Amino acid sequence: MEIVVCIKQVPETTEVKINPQTNTLIREGVKSIINPFDMYALEEAIRLKEKYSGKTIVITMGPPQAESALREALAMGIDEGILITDRTFAGSDTWATSYTLSKAILKIGNFDLVLCGKQASDGDTAQVGPGISAHLDIPQVTYVKKIREINNKNCIVERMTEEGYEVILTPLPCVLTVVKEINEPRLPSLRGLMRAKQTQIIRWSARELKLDEEKIGLKGSPTQVVKIFSPPQRKGGVVFKGETSEVVDKLISLLKDQLP
Amino acid sequence: MSIKIVIEKCTGCSLCIKACPFDAIKILDKKAVIDLNKCNLCGACIDSCKFKAILIEKPLDIQKSPLNLSDYKGVWVFAEQKKSIIQPVVWELLAKARELADKLKTDVSAVLLGSGVKNKAEELIRYGADRVYFVDDESLNNFLDEPYTNILVKLIQKYKPEIFLCGATSIGRSLVSRVAVKLYTGLTADCTGLDIDLEKRLLLQTRPAFGGNIMATIITPCYRPQMATVRHKVFSALEEDKTRKGEIIEEKMEEGLFKSRTSILEVIEEVSSTVNLSEADIIVSGGRGIGSKENFKILEDLAKVLNAAVGASRAAVDSGWMPYSHQVGQTGRTVAPKIYIACGISGQIQHLVGMQASKIIVAINKDPDAPIFKVATYGIVGDLFEIVPALTKRLKEVLKR
Task: State the ipTM, two decimals.
Answer: 0.91
Domain membership flag for residue A15: yes
Both B37 and B85 in a single domain?
A: no
3-state secondary structure of B359: coil
CATH code of the domain covering residue B310: 3.40.50.1220
CATH code of the domain covering residue A41: 3.40.50.620
Domain membership flag for residue A93: yes
Average pLDDT, chain B: 92
Both B230 and B286 in a single domain?
A: no
Both B364 and B308 in a single domain?
A: yes
Mutation pick from B177, B274, B326 vs chain A, by most beta carbons of A within 10 Å, is: B177
CATH code of the domain covering residue B90: 3.40.50.620
pLDDT of residue B162: 98
Both B202 and B338 in a single domain?
A: no
* Listed range (B40-49, B232-241, B256-265) with the worst mean pLDDT: B40-49
Averaged pLDDT for residues A142-149? 97
Domain membership flag for residue A54: yes
Both B136 and B251 in a single domain?
A: yes
Q: Is the pLDDT of residue A232 over 80?
A: no
Domain membership flag for residue A246: no
Which residues of chain B make contact with A140, given a CB cutoff of 8 A?
Answer: 145, 174, 178, 262
Nearest chain A Cα to B366, which residue?
A: A241
B256-284 burial, b at 16+ Cβ within 10 Å, e below that, comes to ebbebebeeeebeeeeebebebbbbbbbb
- pLDDT category, B86, cuts 50, 70, 90? very high
DSSP 8-state code for residue B83: T
Whether residues B338 and A258 touch (CB distance < 8 A) is answered with yes
Both B85 and B122 in a single domain?
A: yes
Q: Which domain holds residue A66?
A: 2-225
Whether residues A258 and B220 touch (CB distance < 8 A) is answered with no
**Cα–Cα distance for residue pair B254/A221, rounded to 1 Å:** 32
Both B47 and B160 in a single domain?
A: no
Contact yes or no for A117/A41 (Cβ under 8 A): yes
Q: pLDDT tens digits for B129-157?
A: 999 999 999 999 999 999 999 999 999 99
Nearest chain A Cα to B387, which residue?
A: A244
- pLDDT category, B346, cuts 50, 70, 90? very high
Both B245 and B286 in a single domain?
A: no
Q: pLDDT tens digits for B168-177?
A: 999 999 999 9
Domain membership flag for residue A202: yes
Give how many domains chain A has, as a whole number: 1
pLDDT of residue A28: 59
Both B84 and B218 in a single domain?
A: yes
Q: Which domain holds residue B371?
A: 282-398
CATH code of the domain covering residue B27: 3.30.70.20
Q: Is the pLDDT of residue B210 over 80?
A: no
pLDDT cut 70: percent of chain B above it: 98
Domain membership flag for residue B277: no
Both B202 and B316 in a single domain?
A: no
Which residues, numbered 1 to 30 in chain A, qualify as contacts with chain B under a Cβ-Cβ cut-off of 8 Å? Answer: 11, 13-14, 16-19, 22, 24-25, 27, 30
Domain membership flag for residue B64: no
Q: Is the pLDDT of residue B340 over 60?
A: yes
Q: Which of B206, B225, B258 represents a domain boundary (last residue)?
A: B258
Domain membership flag for residue A234: no
**Cα–Cα distance for residue pair B128/B366, rounded to 1 Å:** 47
Q: Is the pLDDT of residue A190 over 80?
A: yes
DSSP 8-state code for residue B34: E
pLDDT cut 90: percent of chain B above it: 71
Give how many domains chain B has, as a whole number: 3
Averaged pLDDT for residues B264-278? 79
Q: Is the pLDDT of residue A163 over 90?
A: no
Q: Is the pLDDT of residue B90 over 50?
A: yes
* Listed range (B75-89, B178-192, B268-282, B314-328) with the worst mean pLDDT: B268-282
Q: In what order do the strands lie in the sheet with B378-381?
A: A238-240, B378-381, B360-365, B339-343, B282-286, B309-312
- pLDDT category, A21, cuts 50, 70, 90? low
Whether residues B216 and A227 touch (CB distance < 8 A) is answered with yes
Both B239 and B124 in a single domain?
A: yes
pLDDT of residue A23: 46
Q: Which of B20, B39, B58 represents a domain boundary (last residue)?
A: B58
Domain membership flag for residue A258: no
Whether residues A251 and B42 touch (CB distance < 8 A) is answered with no
Domain membership flag for residue A94: yes
